[in-house]
Amino acid sequence: MAKQRVALECLSYHATASAESTAELVSRHVPSALQLNLYSHQFDDMELDNKDTCTAAIRMFKDMNMIKKFRIPYEVLCRWILSVQKNYRPVKYHNWRHALNVTQTMFALLRTGKMAGFISDQEVLGLMVACLSHDLDHRGTNNAFQSKTDSPLAMLYSTSTMEHHHFDQCVMILNSEGNNIFQVLKPEDYRQVMDTVQQAILSTDLEQYFKTKPQFLQVVRNGQPDWHDSHNKKREYIIVLI
Ligand SMILES: [Zn+2]
């Protein structure tokens, strides 16, 4: 157990953004959402360098008023974003820029599509955090690959293997020193936000998506204003940009 704790301490230290890069991001100018084209579905991250992608992420949290509403210390937000960026691998698709694009799509749905008016602030925060974190430490291989190769991850989780891992990585970063953007949240708010993050990340499993999609289409056809799971009273999430 002591060995495991030492390994976790090491992991946590190296997973976290450096003091220098955090200080640099804190002092960096954050362009407006309009300047970054964040309200549009035509947003193009290719125009941004890696540092600009971080300021774009900050802008989305600022624009949704999350920093003020949940009293997120600015330095902690900057460090957390850099740490999330650091924990994406340079794979072809499921990389940091994919996470940023998914977050921007959510942002456009919430702001331009006005979805934020239909859900709670805790859900807005949870969805934004979930989008940015939803493919953390993706290795470019899918759940079937984990299972067929008997990977340690598949031994940990037999279903939604990678999605559980992405959520675990998300929690690991939040628990690393100076990265907990939820540190001032009331216990009840914290529980609601983390529930949303977990449910939204696990919903990115394609298998879940294809199970849930017909129900979702039915809800849309019926014109139902809300979509709750009648058994556990939780809202269902369907994240289409996996
Ligand atoms: Zn994804």
Answer whether 202's CB lies under 8 Å from 163's CB: yes
> What CA–CA distance (Å, rounded) separates 98 from 122?
24
For 107, phi then psi, to 5°, come to -60, -45
The answer to whether 94 is a known catalytic residue is: yes
> What CA–CA distance (Å, rounded) separates 242 from 227?
21
Contacts of 7 (CB under 8 A, 6+ apart): none
Q: Does residue 217 sit within a domain?
A: no
Query: Once rounded to an integer, what is the mean pLDDT over residues 129-140?
Result: 97
CATH number at residue 60: 1.10.1300.10
Which residue range forms the structural domain that includes residue 97? 2-206
Residue 240, pLDDT > 90, answer no
- Annotated ligand binding at 135? The verdict is yes
Q: Does residue 133 sit within a domain?
A: yes
**What confidence tens digit (pLDDT) does each residue in 55-104 have?**
999 999 999 999 999 999 999 999 999 999 999 999 999 999 999 999 99
Answer whether 133's CB lies under 8 Å from 99's CB: yes
Q: How far is the CA of 241 from the centre of ligand 1 (A)?
A: 6
- Annotated ligand binding at 231? The verdict is no
Whole-prediction pTM: 0.90
Q: How far is the CA of 102 from the centre of ligand 1 (A)?
A: 7
In the chain, how many domains are there? 1
Query: Once rounded to an integer, what is the mean pLDDT over residues 31-35?
Result: 97
Q: Does residue 54 sit within a domain?
A: yes
Q: What is the pLDDT of residue 8?
A: 84
Query: Once rounded to an integer, what is the mean pLDDT over residues 195-201?
Result: 96
